[in-house]
Amino acid sequence: MSLPFLPFEVIISILLLLPARELIKFLVACKSWCAKIKSQDFIKKHLDTSVATGKSYILYLPSESKAAKTFTLLNHKSFCYEFELRVPFHLPCVLDCIIVGSVNGLICLTNISCFGHTIYLTNPSINKYLILPLSSIYRDEFDLRVIQLSLGFGYHEKTNDFKVVRIGFVEHDQSDEDDYEEATTLDHRYDFESKAEVFSLNTKVWKTVELSPNFFYKRHDTFSGVVVNECLHWKTIKSNIYEEKIVILSFHMGEETFQEIEYPKFHDEGRIDRSTCIGEFKSKLGLFTFCPVEYWFGPGEQPCQLWVMEEYGDKNSWTCHATIVLGILIHRPLSFTRNGEIVMQDRSGNTFCYDLTSNQLLDLNIQDEEHDMNIVDFTDSLVLVDLNDEPMGGEGAFPAGGHDFDEYMLMEQVLNDERIKFQSETSVPIVIAPVSSISRHCGLCLIVTLAPGFN
């Protein structure tokens, strides 16, 4: 009898059931397997299969293992420990990394010190990563005055693209004003300037986002992975001559424009101090509200509520979905899980997960005394499988891949890239400026900027 002949469609059905790290190994089986595994349509189907067959996890970077550089993965239903994944780059600055967001197997990371300047995208399942190229807008003196950078990371289904958004704002210096009194009047509230840019994984370049002259938002959530209706969302403060209030800033990942979404009208407005956290709740925009521990002196439980925007964009559709009694004092909500649970921490850094359906509060046994951890959903996927096979596009891009290079080499790389690039045009002096926040762990943190006037 002849050898059993397996139709290629059957081989594909089998390969779809394998974890991404196994598929990487089988790239060398033969050319047709390799081409299939790397195809966009296989990557997409594999991701769907991963979700359908329960290869979904809750992922975090434990503070105690930051030195060991491993992500911990928990089962997304039971929250039991499943396995660990090595952070696939060996920079000392990984020590103080924070997760900006995670979608379809791709994790966006940045450093806590010099937040938002160096950004990594990594798929730890297959040990691939890239460091985003230098900013297109924070190269001039603007970056020395930027007082806050906010990041967003999301996946845009329609264009099959991952996007990173960076918003920075700088408050204009009032110190040289003659009249200090004048500087403290209401007028100065909108005396600030914002800039925004978006990085697309498909094009691998940053693009400046045009902001309307009415972009009066400041002190955004520092990072967000909250995607609803093709848009990323941050909680922010709208501040202009007429008002100062909390709103939600949204960024449409297809149109690449910003919009504003109003907060709900709380029934007990003004009676309690309120903190809020936005998230995706069952494909809708959700808002978790609670009274911060430091303001809660009332008897009984700290009041918490979950609000849901039933019709996206319609401020009148905000509905109080649930009033929650937790039995713990919340210090910081972290995120909403894909199953509609809310992850939160108390003051001592104990981490809990609240299930709204069963009203159960589960202690995840995760300690985060420094309150700098983020917990995200994670799915096994092949995204970035093609990285490293061809050189990275985009000017000023760092080399990417599985190489070990330390931060000093990285700095060297920055300097060399910049030197080569600008020496070819004109001999421009390069200024190395220390940033105000020095890394707690590395002790060295520099940003490279051109001397003012050369942009």
**Looking at beta carbons only, is 26 or 242 nearer to another protein?**
26
Nearest-angstrom CA–CA distance, 347 and 343: 14
**Looking at beta carbons only, is 86 or 245 nearer to another protein?**
86
Contact 102, 117 (CB under 8 A): no
* Shortest distance, position 50 Cβ to another protein, whole Å: 13
Q: Which residues bind another protein (CB under 8 A)?
A: 1, 3-7, 9-11, 13-15, 17-19, 21-22, 24-31, 33-34, 86, 88, 126-127, 388-389, 401-402
* Shortest distance, position 17 Cβ to another protein, whole Å: 4
* Shortest distance, position 134 Cβ to another protein, whole Å: 25
CA–CA–CA angle 395, 233, 447 (5° rounding): 35
* Shortest distance, position 10 Cβ to another protein, whole Å: 5
**Looking at beta carbons only, is 6 or 80 nearer to another protein?**
6
* Shortest distance, position 153 Cβ to another protein, whole Å: 24
**Looking at beta carbons only, is 249 or 385 nearer to another protein?**
385
Q: Across-strand partners of 407?
A: none
Backbone angles phi, psi at 319, to 5 degrees: -130, 135
* Shortest distance, position 201 Cβ to another protein, whole Å: 18
Nearest-angstrom CA–CA distance, 140 and 143: 6
* Shortest distance, position 390 Cβ to another protein, whole Å: 10
* Shortest distance, position 127 Cβ to another protein, whole Å: 4
* Shortest distance, position 397 Cβ to another protein, whole Å: 17
* Shortest distance, position 402 Cβ to another protein, whole Å: 6
**Looking at beta carbons only, is 26 or 83 nearer to another protein?**
26
**Looking at beta carbons only, is 368 or 380 nearer to another protein?**
380
**Looking at beta carbons only, is 16 or 261 nearer to another protein?**
16
**Looking at beta carbons only, is 22 or 370 nearer to another protein?**
22
**Looking at beta carbons only, is 273 or 386 nearer to another protein?**
386
* Shortest distance, position 107 Cβ to another protein, whole Å: 16
Nearest-angstrom CA–CA distance, 435 and 173: 17
- Other C-beta atoms closer than 10 Å to the C-beta of 119 total 22
**Looking at beta carbons only, is 65 or 388 nearer to another protein?**
388
Distance from the first to the final alpha carbon of the chain: 73
**Three-class secondary structure assignment of the chain:** CCCCCCCHHHHHHHHCCCCHHHHHHHHHCCHHHHHHHHCHHHHHHHHHHHHHCCCEEEEECCHHHCCCCEEEEEECCCCCEEEEEECCCCCHHHHHEEEEEEECCEEEEEECCCCCCCEEEEECCCCEEEECCCCCCCCCCHHHHCCEEEEEEEEECCCCEEEEEEEEEEECCCCCCCCHHHHCCHHHHHCEEEEEEEEECCCCEEEEECCCCCCCEECCCCEECCEECCEEEEEEEEECCCCEEEEEEEEECCCCEEEEEECCCCCCCCCCCCEEEEEEECCEEEEEEECCHHHCCCCCCCCEEEEEECCCCCHHHEEEEEEECCCCCEEEEEEECCCCEEEEEECCCEEEEEECCCCEEEEEEEECCCCCCCEEEEECCCCCCCCCCCCCCCCCCCCCCCCCCCHHHHHHHHHHHHHHHHHCCCCCCEEEEECCCCCCCCCCCEEEEECCCCC
3-state secondary structure of 216: coil
The length of the chain in residues reads: 455
**Looking at beta carbons only, is 29 or 246 nearer to another protein?**
29
**Looking at beta carbons only, is 49 or 276 nearer to another protein?**
49
* Shortest distance, position 4 Cβ to another protein, whole Å: 4
